[in-house]
């Protein structure tokens, strides 16, 4: 594999050639990408092999967003390098490889997260949204939020018959730890699914601000050096959507919807970038949906797709975190009442 890595890197300028390569596998992620840390004359760089199916056009858009926000002063994201042929990536045997700056630091692995860190992370997300708002490839506008359609589709796929199929399949899965977790999840899920469908349905026709967002940012993508936030990684899902998608995903993963921390995160975000009432309401509704849809989506990938590239320990830990939250009563209905701050 290191021979292939070196052949890919040979497509980049001389200053990007490695003197040391460290394979990190999936680096704790779930997207199917592989990561290498490459020590070069420019310092450490990140080589990424993208999952099969990623297109050059799609990757070019993501790179354009990375460069744009960096030019606008957002210094916490990766910056991509072009190949010697001025291309955004190297194509090798049907997969794409790209090279970006390496962002230092470590993610927060466990809850609870201090209020200071919650505030710092949400302030950084607001700064990213500000920088990305004028990105011309994905122009800001007002429309129905794509994330609502996505979540309603996911909710519709979790019909009672499907939940019963997963309950049976989990008992046959080679991970013996999965079955009891699946059983509890499938017991807890139905009332939460009903609430999520009702609340998102209320917002399905709302016309909301839409702009470039990350769409799948959570606490494992936020890096820290000590108490200093040092980077936000994994922009693979970036596209045009409601900022509420990012707020719900990140803030929910940092706070588990604990009310004081949730309000502190929203307040920190709005000190940088105020939010309208519709976006605040959507963030709360999405968080309620995410807490049940995310673990069910993992069941689907494990039981229907037979995912073989998932890190067993990490997936089980993620399921345990969602189960701990599902065991608690739903978050207060007035979570969106913290703003807006105009």
pTM of the model: 0.94
Nearest one of 319, 125, 86 to 229, comparing CA atoms: 125
Nearest one of 152, 123, 128 to 266, comparing CA atoms: 123
Distance CA 57, CA 40 (A): 28
Per-residue model confidence (pLDDT) at position 258: 92
Please list the alpha-helical segments (H only) found in 204-307. Answer: 243-255, 259-272, 277-303
pLDDT, tens only, 284-294? 999 999 999 99
Per-residue model confidence (pLDDT) at position 341: 45
Q: Hey, is 83 helix, strand or coil?
A: coil
Report domain extents, the chain: 2-102, 115-338
pLDDT, tens only, 234-256? 999 999 999 999 999 999 999 99
Q: Hey, is 84 helix, strand or coil?
A: coil
Residue 116: phi, psi to the nearest 5?
A: -65, -40
The CATH number that domain 2-102 falls under is: 3.30.200.20
Per-residue model confidence (pLDDT) at position 333: 61
> Can you read off the two tokens belonging to residue 215?
């769409």
**2-102 and 115-338 agree in CATH topology:** no
pLDDT, tens only, 105-117? 999 988 999 999 9
pLDDT band of residue 27 (cuts 50, 70, 90) is low
**Structural domain 115-338, CATH architecture:** Alpha-Beta Complex (3.90)
Name the burial class of residue 38, with classes exposed (0-12), middle (13-18) and buried (19+) by CB atoms within 10 angstroms of its CB.
buried
157: which residues sit within 8 A by CB, 6+ positions away?
300
> Can you read off the two tokens belonging to residue 218?
């959570």
Average pLDDT over residues 330-339: 65
Per-residue model confidence (pLDDT) at position 3: 84
Average pLDDT over residues 257-268: 95
Distance CA 314, CA 193 (A): 24
pLDDT, tens only, 189-218? 999 999 999 999 999 999 999 999 999 999
Per-residue model confidence (pLDDT) at position 296: 98
């Amino acid at each position: 594999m290191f021979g292939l890595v070196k052949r890919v890197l040979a497509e980049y300028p001389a200053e990007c050639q490695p003197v040391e390569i460290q394979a990190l596998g999936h680096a704790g992620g779930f997207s199917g990408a592989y990561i290498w840390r490459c020590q070069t004359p420019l310092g450490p760089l990140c080589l990424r092999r993208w999952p099969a199916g990623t297109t050059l056009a799609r990757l070019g858009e993501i790179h354009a967003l990375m460069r744009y926000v960096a030019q606008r002063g957002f210094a916490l994201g990766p910056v991509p390098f072009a190949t010697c042929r001025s291309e955004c990536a190297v194509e090798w045997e049907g997969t794409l490889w790209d090279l970006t700056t390496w962002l230092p630091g470590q993610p927060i692995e466990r809850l609870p997260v201090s209020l200071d860190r919650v505030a710092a992370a949400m302030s950084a997300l607001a700064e990213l949204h500000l920088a990305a708002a004028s990105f011309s490839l994905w122009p800001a506008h007002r429309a129905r939020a794509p994330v609502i359609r996505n979540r309603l589709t996911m909710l519709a796929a979790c019909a009672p018959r499907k939940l019963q199929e997963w309950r049976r399949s989990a008992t046959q899965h080679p991970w013996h730890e999965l079955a009891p977790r699946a059983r509890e999840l499938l017991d807890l899920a139905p009332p939460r699914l009903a609430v999520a469908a009702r609340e998102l349905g209320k917002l399905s026709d709302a016309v909301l601000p839409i702009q470039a967002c990350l769409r799948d940012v959570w606490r494992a993508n936020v890096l820290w050096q000590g108490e200093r936030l040092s980077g936000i990684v994994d922009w693979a899902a970036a596209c045009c959507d409601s900022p509420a998608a990012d707020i719900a995903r990140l803030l929910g993963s940092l706070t588990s919807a604990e009310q004081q921390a949730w309000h502190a995160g929203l307040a920190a975000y709005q000190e940088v970038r105020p939010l309208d009432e519709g976006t605040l309401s959507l963030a709360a509704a999405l968080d309620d949906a995410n807490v049940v849809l995310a673990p069910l989506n993992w069941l689907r990938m494990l039981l229907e797709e037979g995912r073989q590239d998932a890190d067993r320990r990490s997936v089980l830990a993620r399921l345990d975190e969602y189960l701990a939250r599902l065991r608690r009563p739903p978050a207060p209905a007035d979570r969106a009442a913290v703003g807006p701050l105009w």
